[in-house]
């Protein structure tokens, strides 16, 4: 059906264009291959532990599926290398988080804008804050061929003393790291990429916006007919209407919209100093769950404090209720190993209750929310989601309804009633941020998470003395 729709679209578009123009969609369908050019990066494309990954990559894979063809990805190190490949028809589409700048708009055709970003001047926290162009007093370097050079050229018209350098040797992420290492005073970064980078490097600070908001869109060859462009518009319309785009955007960006400098810096510090003490237990008891996710949960629950206690009576590293601890055979919630074991088992138990049709990562976000707010309240939010015509199996839709559990007109219609759904949403977002940072620390800088040489005792040999002041608490059920 998708191939039929695409063919019909191509026939219609081609009939409206100059017959001498070659039909890009015909070539793609005849060859059975969609050739997509992109760049390496956090939000575009890279090889992860299980294969290719990235926001742009997943969008491109979906477009290839829509057309019924195979996807071939051609990654490059910078846009200067990529754009000529499109002009020479070596690739069909550029999907690389490309900002639609005026110059680019005059050179290429662009599909529908699917994100809005601004360009930010980046400096190191603690240095003098540049609040405007006139405050730039040091070395400014940007990626050659980027939209940043175009924005700076526009600013230079009113600030003739503005100067900068361009490089083909570094990408945007590398330039930000150079700022942190005091090898560079300033650079410019797109706001979506900067949001992700600040979870790893909280000392990256924002001076001011260098440009107004721009669209991000896919580029196609201006010399070809509009058949690929029309198919692209249709595809983005479909994934916008069925919620798939919102889910994908939430997967990569939904948890980093808010930034807390103090919290991020403290988390990274404790990941180096406190986490190694308990890391072996997180690995031992995580089983099918990524140990780094379990560790991120524990930090959100207790900041890795074995004797943590909340006003509701939950205790320990994983903040277990007394009832849940007894159900899991945990004799002391204050013992860090028992708490980690119990928290892992309880999360696994919740995961088993999530309907099989719900896939990862949504399945995991649902389980985390239920760990915090209770499975019953999660189900209430899913029922509200379905009543309101949204998808109860997608986290991006359900988290909106979790917020409604605080509103009387909604919670009075549910089985379990009022709940602090906003806290559950924040809980999941925080864990996702901590988890992303731990993955980066573990994979890119493993020496930061080196485990101390400690002997782990079997859990049944640890003292089973009960906590001296156990109090009843509301079960997380």
DSSP string, 179-233: HHTTS-SBEEEEHHHHHHHTTT-TTEEEEEESS--EEE--EE-TTS-SHHHHHHH
CA separation for the pair 8, 230 (Å, rounded): 11
- Give Rg (Cα) of the chain: 25
Q: What are phi and psi of 454, to 5 degrees?
A: -125, 155
CA separation for the pair 147, 150 (Å, rounded): 5
CA separation for the pair 376, 5 (Å, rounded): 43
CA separation for the pair 108, 218 (Å, rounded): 10
Annotated active-site residue 301? The verdict is: yes
Two structure tokens written together for 446: 């493993």
Two structure tokens written together for 455: 């002997």
Catalytic residue among 301, 337, 345, 379: 301
Which three-class secondary structure state does DSSP give residue 411? helix
DSSP string, 323-380: HHHHHTT-S-TTSHHHHHHHHHHHHHHHHHHS-TTSPTTHHHHHHHHHHHH-HHHHHH
List, by residue number, the catalytic residues: 301
């Amino acid at each position: 059906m998708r191939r039929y729709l695409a063919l019909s679209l191509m026939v219609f578009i081609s009939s409206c264009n100059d017959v001498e123009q070659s039909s890009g969609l015909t070539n793609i369908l005849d060859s059975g291959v969609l050739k997509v050019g992109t760049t390496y990066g956090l939000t575009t494309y890279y090889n992860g532990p299980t294969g290719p990954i990235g926001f742009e990559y997943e969008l491109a894979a979906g477009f290839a599926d829509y057309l019924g063809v195979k996807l071939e990805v051609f990654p490059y190190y910078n846009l200067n290398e990529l754009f000529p490949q499109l002009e020479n028809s070596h690739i069909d589409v550029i999907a690389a988080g490309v900002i639609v700048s005026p110059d680019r708009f005059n050179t290429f055709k662009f599909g529908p804008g699917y994100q809005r970003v601004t360009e930010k001047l980046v400096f190191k926290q603690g240095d003098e804050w540049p609040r405007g162009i006139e405050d730039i007093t040091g070395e400014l370097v940007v990626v050659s061929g980027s939209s940043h050079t175009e924005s700076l050229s526009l600013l230079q018209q009113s600030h003739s003393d503005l100067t900068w350098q361009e490089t083909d040797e570094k990408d945007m992420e590398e330039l930000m790291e150079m700022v942190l290492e005091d090898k560079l005073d300033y650079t410019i970064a797109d706001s979506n990429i900067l949001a992700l980078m600040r979870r790893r490097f909280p000392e990256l600070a924002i001076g001011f916006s260098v440009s107004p908001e721009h669209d991000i869109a896919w580029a196609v060859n201006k010399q070809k007919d509009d058949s690929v462009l029309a198919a692209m518009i249709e595809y983005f319309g479909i994934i916008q209407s069925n919620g798939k785009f919102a889910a994908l955007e939430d997967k990569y960006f939904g948890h980093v919209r808010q930034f807390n400098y103090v919290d991020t810096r403290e988390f990274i510090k404790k990941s180096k100093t406190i986490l190694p003490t308990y890391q072996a237990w997180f690995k031992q008891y995580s089983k099918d769950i990524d140990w780094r996710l379990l560790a991120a949960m524990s930090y959100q629950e207790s900041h890795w404090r074995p004797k943590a206690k909340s006003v509701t009576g939950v205790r320990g590293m994983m903040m277990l209720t007394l009832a849940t601890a007894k159900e899991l055979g945990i004799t002391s919630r204050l013992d860090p190993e028992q708490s980690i074991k119990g928290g892992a088992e309880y999360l696994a138990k919740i995961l088993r209750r999530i309907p099989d049709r719900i896939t990862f990562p949504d399945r995991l976000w649902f389980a985390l929310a239920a760990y915090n707010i209770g499975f019953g309240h999660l189900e209430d939010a899913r029922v509200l989601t379905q009543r309101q015509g949204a998808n109860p199996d997608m986290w991006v839709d359900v988290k909106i309804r979790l917020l409604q559990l605080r509103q009387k007109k909604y919670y009075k219609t549910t089985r379990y009633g009022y709940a602090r759904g906003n806290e559950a949403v924040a809980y999941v977002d925080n864990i996702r941020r901590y988890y992303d940072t731990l993955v980066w620390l573990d994979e890119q800088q493993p020496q930061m998470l080196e485990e101390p040489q400690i002997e782990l005792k079997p859990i049944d040999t640890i003292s089973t003395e009960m906590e001296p002041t156990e109090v009843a608490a509301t079960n997380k059920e």
